[in-house]
Amino acid sequence: MPTPEDIANQLLDHKTLLNVDGLLDAVIALYNDCNIPVLKRTQNIDEFLQRNQTSITHLENHRLKCSDFDAIKVIGRGAFGEVRLVRQKVSRKVYALKLLNKNEMLRRADTAFFWEERDIMAYSESEWIVRLHYAFQDMVMVFLR
């Protein structure tokens, strides 16, 4: 049985499944999935949405998003999206930003490749593999930077 200290360490370790960023993503996704008219008619779901609206809005406003970057130019296109050269507005650092269309990935049932690519870039320590700095998403796109 994990101790409270074990759980706290997992929450702070980005390599574990039980980490803060993953949990925040899950809560935001759950909130957005519940926030459709058909489901809002259910009392428990409506109460969940009302109880968490302020927190979710706060999280969404403060998490990294595509609008935090200025596009410089498109440097590649693929089956699911494109890669852009971008500059982060606050830090002024230049990155490659990969945009993947969620609907296209789901339509082709090829989401497994995304997770494999993301994990390789996130956890590899090779100088020959591009390092993943952030991964984030909105309702339509997945972004890797």
**Res. 139 pLDDT band, cuts 50 70 90:** low
DSSP-derived secondary structure letter, 68: G
Tell me the percentage of the chain whose pLDDT exceeds 90: 26
User: Stretch 35-42: mean pLDDT, rounded?
Assistant: 84
Q: What pLDDT shows up at residue 106?
A: 73
The pLDDT of residue 28 is above 60? yes
What does the pLDDT read at residue 125? 86
Q: Which of 84, 109, 108, 99 is nearest to 140 (CA)?
A: 99
- 98 labeled binding residue: yes
Give domain 66-144's CATH architecture. 2-Layer Sandwich (3.30)
Mean pLDDT in residue range 56-65 = 88
Domain parsing of the chain, residue ranges: 4-62, 66-144
Distance CA 24, CA 138 (A): 13
Mean pLDDT, rounded, of the chain: 84
pLDDT digits (tens, 9 = 90+) for 85-129: 999 999 999 998 888 877 777 777 766 677 788 888 888 888 898
Location of structure tokens 């969404």: 60
Tell me what pLDDT residue 117 has.
81
Task: Tell me if residue 15 falls in helix, strand or coil.
Answer: coil
Residue labelled with tokens 């989401």:
111
pLDDT value at residue 2: 83
pLDDT at 49: 94
